[in-house]
């Protein structure tokens, strides 16, 4: 079906408008972060980033977020691949009930369970540890990861799996040599989503680490905001510092993410 020039122009106009709406807040924050502080000379002030980094102690909070993100993404990805492979390619008794049990992780908000979970982890002596921050997020990420990869792995050709079995490949070898390589865009997209959710998590990190020693990046930004409520330039600089790792990860993996989204839309 051919698209007329007027329809094509209208499509581009709509895309441009929504792109500007999405980009405007980002440009505004970056511009404010580089603007002069109260009483400073006009111009671009890159030193705002250095001052925010130093005063806000973002080095430690970013380091904590990186450790938590690595633990959560690595653990949740491995578990999601295994569970998604089982639910997507195998048929066994009780699979539907077990899958619905996994989906409870998507249906129950963390706000509803964070307080009783805190008391459980405190009883086990895990509060104020990386495990207390990471374990609840692993459970949440595995729920979505299982749902995501189950749908992806179900699209793998059955004849391809049967051919691998006839060649003597076991389930694990089939997963690593055939299923995962053919699903790289979906897996990478899942990694990016898990990283973004883990990086932005505020409530779990706040409740599970009350001592403040393991304060993550969002908590560090909230503390910094409490110290500089009137200085928008430094607040914006802190926001840029906290958001920068997510932007870098997305830019590095955007090609795979876009492919994963497009494949999911087509399927």
**Do the Cβ atoms of 146 and 99 come closer than 8 Å?**
yes
Asked if pLDDT for residue 12 goes beyond 70, the answer is yes
Strand, helix or coil for residue 40: coil
Cα dihedral sign, 155-159-164-166: positive
- Give the pLDDT of residue 175: 87
Enter the tokens of residue 181: 């390589």
Dist. CA 153–CA 190, nearest whole Å? 13
**Residues, the chain:** 267
Tens digits of residue pLDDT in 61-114:
999 999 999 999 999 999 999 999 999 888 888 888 888 888 887 888 888 889
pLDDT digits (tens, 9 = 90+) for 39-58: 777 888 888 899 889 888 89
| The two three-digit tokens of residue 105, written as one number | 């992780």
For the segment 158-170, what is each residue's pLDDT rounded down to a tens digit?
A: 888 888 888 888 8
Separation CA 267–CA 260 (nearest Å):
11
Residue for token digits 């924050």?
29
CA 119 – CA 110 distance, rounded (Å): 14
Would you say 216 and 61 are in contact if contact means Cβ atoms under 8 Å apart?
yes
Q: What confidence score (pLDDT) does residue 24 get?
A: 92
């Amino acid at each position: 079906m051919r698209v007329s020039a007027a329809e094509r122009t209208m499509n581009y106009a709509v895309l441009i408008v929504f792109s500007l709406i999405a980009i405007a807040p980002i440009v505004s924050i970056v511009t404010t972060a580089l603007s002069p502080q109260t009483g400073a000379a006009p111009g671009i002030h890159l030193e705002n980033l250095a001052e925010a980094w130093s005063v806000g102690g973002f080095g430690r909070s970013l380091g904590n977020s990186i450790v938590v993100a690595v633990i959560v993404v690595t653990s949740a990805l491995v578990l999601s691949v295994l569970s998604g492979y089982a639910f997507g390619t195998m048929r066994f008794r009780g699979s539907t009930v077990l899958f619905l049990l996994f989906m409870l992780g998507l249906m129950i908000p963390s706000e509803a369970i964070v307080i009783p979970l805190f008391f459980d982890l405190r009883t086990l002596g895990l509060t104020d540890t990386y495990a207390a921050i990471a374990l609840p997020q692993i459970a949440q990420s595995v729920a979505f990861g299982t749902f995501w990869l189950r749908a992806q792995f179900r699209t793998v050709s059955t004849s391809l799996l049967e051919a691998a079995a006839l060649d003597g490949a076991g389930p694990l070898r089939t997963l690593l040599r055939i299923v995962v390589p053919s699903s790289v865009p979906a897996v990478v997209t899942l990694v990016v989503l898990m990283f973004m959710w883990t990086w932005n998590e505020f409530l779990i990190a706040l409740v599970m680490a009350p001592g403040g020693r393991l304060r993550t990046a969002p908590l560090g930004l909230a503390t910094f905001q409490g110290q500089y409520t009137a200085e928008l330039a430094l607040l914006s600089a802190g926001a840029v510092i906290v958001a920068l790792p997510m932007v870098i990860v997305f830019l590095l993996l955007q090609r795979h993410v876009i492919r994963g989204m497009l494949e999911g839309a087509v399927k």
